[in-house]
Amino acid sequence: MGIFTPYRHQAAPLLAALLILSSVPALATPYPAAAAVEQTARALLLKKLEKAGLEAARVNIKALPPRGFNAPPCPEPVRVAALDERAPSRMRLQARCDAAGWDAEFIVRADISARVAVAARDIPARSLLDAGDLEWQERPVLDPADMVGAKTKLEGLSNRTALRQGQPLRLKALEASLLVKRGEEVRIVARHSGIEVVAAGEALGNGRQGEIIRVRNSATGKVIRARASQSGEVNPVD
């Protein structure tokens, strides 16, 4: 009686097919240029937002290729370099594919919003700001570096112009407050090893936070150099 072996006869063609398929190299994954550019632009913007302390950020990005660009997808990861990233609304990035021999300059337009500091009330110009003057609201962001975020230190800063309630604060519109005015009486406070000595003096110049000005000691008439430390107060420096 013969032995029936159908599996052996059916397996031979299948095995041959598997051997043929295994000898075919895998196709390279194509990398589209626009996607690579958008990914790089997003990473750059998120880094700026994080540095500025802007939370709850939303970033929408669109990469626009140059006119007539029709290069094929790159068989290797596209190399992207930032040419101009100063304005999120119009960034310039270069995409390059060495394997396919092409490069192109993309324009990237980004719409950004984040939680930023706004005036909690109407604030007169040149007011010394503190945390009570602020509220946090989601607003469009044109320049992350100019917005007041969670990491911004407002101590000693004032607004150059009046702020309306709900108006976002901008760093370019803030300045160190004028703590000491020329001709005004000031307290000269010297501290050393837990000992504090106070004397009356006259400011001979205007002084903002940390600035060094000349001050005349009212008792002795001696003119010294002192650093503006707080409103109406200076600390002698050597």
Query: Residue 177's pLDDT is what?
Result: 79
Residues 6+ apart with CB under 8 A from 172: 146
C-alpha angle with apex 191: 190 to 195, nearest 5 degrees? 120
Residues 6+ apart with CB under 8 A from 127: 133, 158, 159
Backbone conformation region of residue 212, classed left if phi is above 0, alpha if psi is from -120 to 50, else beta: beta
Torsion of CA 12, 16, 19, 23, to 10 degrees: 180
CA atoms lying within 13 Å on the CB side of residue 141: 32
Query: Residue 131's pLDDT is what?
Result: 86
Query: Residue 183's pLDDT is what?
Result: 94
Query: Residue 4's pLDDT is what?
Result: 34
Query: Residue 15's pLDDT is what?
Result: 43
The domains of the chain, with CATH numbers, are 33-112 (no CATH), 114-176 (3.90.1210), 178-236 (2.30.30.760)
How far does the chain reach from its first CA to its final CA, in angstroms? 115
Q: Which of 191, 189, 187, 146 is nearest to 169 (CA)?
A: 146
| Helix, strand counts (H, E) of the chain | 2, 14
Query: Residue 209's pLDDT is what?
Result: 82
Beta strands 233-236 and 185-192, pairing class: parallel
pLDDT mean values, one per 10 residues, the chain (238 residues): 40 45 48 94 95 94 94 93 94 96 96 96 91 93 93 86 96 89 94 90 91 94 93 91
Alpha-carbon gap, residue 75 to 27, rounded angstroms? 9
Reported pTM: 0.68
Is the Cβ–Cβ distance between 201 and 188 less than 8 Å?
yes
Tokens of 221: 């008439």
Q: Can you state the percent helix, strand and coil of the chain, rounding each to 5?
A: 20, 45, 40
Give the helix ranges, DSSP H, for 150-196.
Answer: none
Alpha-carbon gap, residue 143 to 149, rounded angstroms? 12
CA atoms lying within 13 Å on the CB side of residue 107: 7
Length of the chain: 238
Query: Residue 176's pLDDT is what?
Result: 83
